Structure 1
Amino acid sequence: MNYKTDVCIVGAGPGGALLAYLLAKQNVSVILIERHQKIAKAFRGEHLNEVGEEILKKYDLYSKIEELGLLAMESLEYWENGKLLKKILPDPKIGHLGIHVPQAHLLQVILGEAQQFPPFTLMTNTKVIDLLMNDEERILGVKAMCEGKEVTIESRITIGADGRYSTVRKKAGIEVSKIKHGYDLLWARIPAPPGWEPSIKMALIDGFQLSLFTQAKGYIQIGWNIEEGSFPELRKQPFTTFIEKLIQAFPILDRSVKENITSWNDFVLLDVYSNFSETWVRDGVAFLGDAVHTMTPTGAFGLNSAMKDAECLAQIITPEEINKLDLIQCETERKKEIEKLQKIQIEKEQNFATQFVIYS
């Protein structure tokens, strides 16, 4: 089966979904494809900063997401040996230190709004297997497997919004520089104890960062940095010795931790790295988000940066024209911002331990 559209977006994460919505709203025909059957797949980078909040409010999405449930962080705290060392409150003009937005809520609203516009089509359970190219190697769309059948989607431009392992980027032959940060990350989620305030809490354990992010619906997400490549050996050690360090850092979590983290299998291991591509645009294709600039979890920039990429692209793609020079200008603008944010991430990671030094 053959489809034709103005824009084919590969990847229905927040960046791809937002771009599809903004384009459809502007009467640009768009097909958004997603390899998973269900859109609300597991996702761990769910914190908005003021950039993401502003975008959602600008396009009348924020209040609808708020109705489904989100949670503003009221403080950033640093703890040592079970005691509060210092507490940072938000700038009154911003009002929060990040907002937890479950990805299911975010995508439900964005895609629900997009489906009100006839130019929008969503194809799930659809996996890209190749790119369509002409003799001059201009990309003309994608070849995909949809519900077990091969389809082609011809488009004026293809957008790679398919994450750090981007198939579109690889098929387009675009290189990416990978930067390791010296640590891996263990994720876990536990119920918050009674009276837990919406906050981000930090501790320093064995020289590595431990972070607690309050989530909507009464949960806490644990992000525990460990030495890069150390998990296989760590798993050979007694689990209780490891988990006691978490309880010592935050004694109030004693019961919830013991009831909900009972083995190494209750952690999810994330291979932490950032990457950056010098090429975000070529004939017939453009990229956004993790496909060309994977961020580490530090500072929660990833989600917000992908949404900003999407907004930039939406402002230059019209039903009448897709100008390569405009795409390159968007690329240049966004690359400068991403390079700055990735440097900030490295600085935050390198200087994290200094937050626990109290000067008299």
Structure 2
Amino acid sequence: MHKKVDVCIVGGGPGGALLANLLAKQNVSVLLVERTNNFAKTFRGEHLNEEGESVLKQHGIYERIEQLGLLKMETLEYWHQGECIKTILPDEKVGHLGIHVPQAHLLQAILEQAKHYPLFDYVLNTTVKELIQNEQGQYTAVRAVQNGKELLIESQLIIGADGRYSSIRKLANIDTTVRSHGYDLLWARIPAPANWSPSIKMALVNGMQISLFTQAEGFVQIGWNIEKGSFSTLRKEPFTPFIEKLCSAFPQLAASVKEHIQSWQDFVPLDVFSSMAEQWGKNGVVLIGDAVHTMTPTGAYGLNSALMDAHLLAEVLLQNEQFDFVSCATKRKHEIERIQATQIEKEQKFSEAFVVLS
């Protein structure tokens, strides 16, 4: 099979989907390539901050997400030995401390809008195998496999929006600098207890951070920091003493925890690191989102940064007859460096919030 488009975007997460939407809206032919059989199948960050909220509102997408369902965080709470010791309320002008948007709702809203544009198209179950260069060294096509059959996609521009382990980045031989943060993360999701308020709750247990994120549709997501590389050893130890620490930190969650987290298999481990690509693009390839700057979960910046990447790159592509993304990449690189520095500072100073005055 053979397709020819102006822009081929590899990776159907929020950043890739939004960029495809914005370009197709302005009569740029776009093909969005997703390796899974469902855009929302791969887990990605689900918390919007003010920046992400602003981008979605600007492009008329936020209202549809509201209809599908979202949840605004009303408090940020710090807990110590089973009690709340500090509560932070939102700025009245903002009205929330983050917004939980189920990934399926976000992608549905973006893609519903995109499908109205004749020059938008997508393919699922499609894995990129090769980038093809012309005699001048420009990447001009993608060779992929869709449902076991070869697919050749000719494109003037190839966008890698395919996440932290980006195939496009690797195939284009773009190096990345990786930073370890000294911890990994265990994720779990359980039903929220009755009368659970929309909140983010934090605790410090044995020197490690535990975070609870209230989710739309009645769930709580648990993020438990563990020592880097320790999960293989940890899961050989007895499970009950480990989970009792979570119950002691948040007693009101104990019943739901004991019912829904009964073994190590109920946790999903995440390898935590941050990274920055040496180049944000070259020879007809451009990277956005985690493909170019992987973020840690701290502060939930990843999703919002990907949306902003897409927003700004679309502006550059549409405003410049001669595509030159250098100024856009430079601006974003400075901003991402600032955010990653903020993440490190938040991680290093997290324990300070739990200094209890006697």
- Corresponding letter in the other structure for 2:354: F
Taking the TM superposition and a 5 Å limit, the aligned residue runs for 1:1-360 are 1-318=1-318, 321-324=321-324, 327-359=325-357
- Corresponding letter in the other structure for 1:251: P
Please say if residues 44 and 303 of structure 2, whose CA atoms lie closer than 8 Å, have aligned partners that are also in contact: no
Please say if residues 126 and 146 of structure 1, whose CA atoms lie closer than 8 Å, have aligned partners that are also in contact: yes
- Corresponding letter in the other structure for 1:350: Q
Q: Taking every aligned residue pair, what percent have the same amino acid on both sides?
A: 61
TM-score w.r.t. structure 1 length? 0.98
- Corresponding letter in the other structure for 1:334: R
- Corresponding letter in the other structure for 1:109: A
1:3 deviates by 1.0
1:281 deviates by 1.8
Partner Cα separation in structure 1 for residue 254 and residue 149 of structure 2: 51
Partner Cα separation in structure 2 for residue 76 and residue 259 of structure 1: 26
Larger displacement relative to structure 2 (201-210 or 43-52): 43-52
Partner Cα separation in structure 2 for residue 262 and residue 205 of structure 1: 19
Q: Deviations 1:78-115 (Å, cap 9, x if unpaired)?
A: 00000011000011111100000000000011011101
Partner Cα separation in structure 2 for residue 228 and residue 114 of structure 1: 40
- Corresponding letter in the other structure for 2:339: L
SS in 2 for 1:118: coil
Alignment coverage as a number of residue pairs: 358
Over 3 Å counting, the alpha-carbon distance change for 1:138 and 1:42 in structure 2 is: closer
1:53 deviates by 0.3
1:359 deviates by 5.0
Partner Cα separation in structure 2 for residue 17 and residue 141 of structure 1: 20
- Corresponding letter in the other structure for 1:73: M
1:45 deviates by 1.4
Q: Deviations 1:306-350 (Å, cap 9, x if unpaired)?
A: 0000001100213983512xx011100100000000000000001
Q: Deviations 1:208-235 (Å, cap 9, x if unpaired)?
A: 0000000000000000000111112211
Partner Cα separation in structure 1 for residue 177 and residue 107 of structure 2: 29
1:38 deviates by 1.0
Partner Cα separation in structure 2 for residue 78 and residue 262 of structure 1: 26
Partner Cα separation in structure 1 for residue 352 and residue 328 of structure 2: 37
Which residues of structure 2 form unaligned runs of 5+? none
1:44 deviates by 4.4
TM-score w.r.t. structure 2 length? 0.98
Partner Cα separation in structure 2 for residue 262 and residue 347 of structure 1: 34
SS in 1 for 2:189: strand
Q: Deviations 1:139-192 (Å, cap 9, x if unpaired)?
A: 102111112111111111000000011111001000001110000100000100
Q: Deviations 1:8-48 (Å, cap 9, x if unpaired)?
A: 00000000000000001111110000001111114141000
Partner Cα separation in structure 2 for residue 179 and residue 139 of structure 1: 29
Please say if residues 160 and 288 of structure 2, whose CA atoms lie closer than 8 Å, have aligned partners that are also in contact: yes
Please say if residues 75 and 87 of structure 1, whose CA atoms lie closer than 8 Å, have aligned partners that are also in contact: yes
Partner Cα separation in structure 2 for residue 152 and residue 256 of structure 1: 49
Partner Cα separation in structure 1 for residue 64 and residue 12 of structure 2: 19
1:136 deviates by 2.3
Larger displacement relative to structure 2 (124-133 or 230-239): 230-239
- Corresponding letter in the other structure for 1:105: H
SS in 2 for 1:350: helix
Partner Cα separation in structure 1 for residue 228 and residue 30 of structure 2: 41
- Corresponding letter in the other structure for 1:100: H
- Corresponding letter in the other structure for 2:349: N
Please say if residues 160 and 285 of structure 1, whose CA atoms lie closer than 8 Å, have aligned partners that are also in contact: yes
Please say if residues 316 and 322 of structure 1, whose CA atoms lie closer than 8 Å, have aligned partners that are also in contact: no
SS in 1 for 2:262: coil
- Corresponding letter in the other structure for 1:58: Q
Over 3 Å counting, the alpha-carbon distance change for 1:16 and 1:322 in structure 2 is: farther
Please say if residues 27 and 319 of structure 1, whose CA atoms lie closer than 8 Å, have aligned partners that are also in contact: no
Partner Cα separation in structure 2 for residue 44 and residue 198 of structure 1: 20
- Corresponding letter in the other structure for 2:197: E
SS in 2 for 1:318: helix
- Corresponding letter in the other structure for 2:43: F
Which residues of structure 1 form unaligned runs of 5+? none
SS in 2 for 1:32: strand
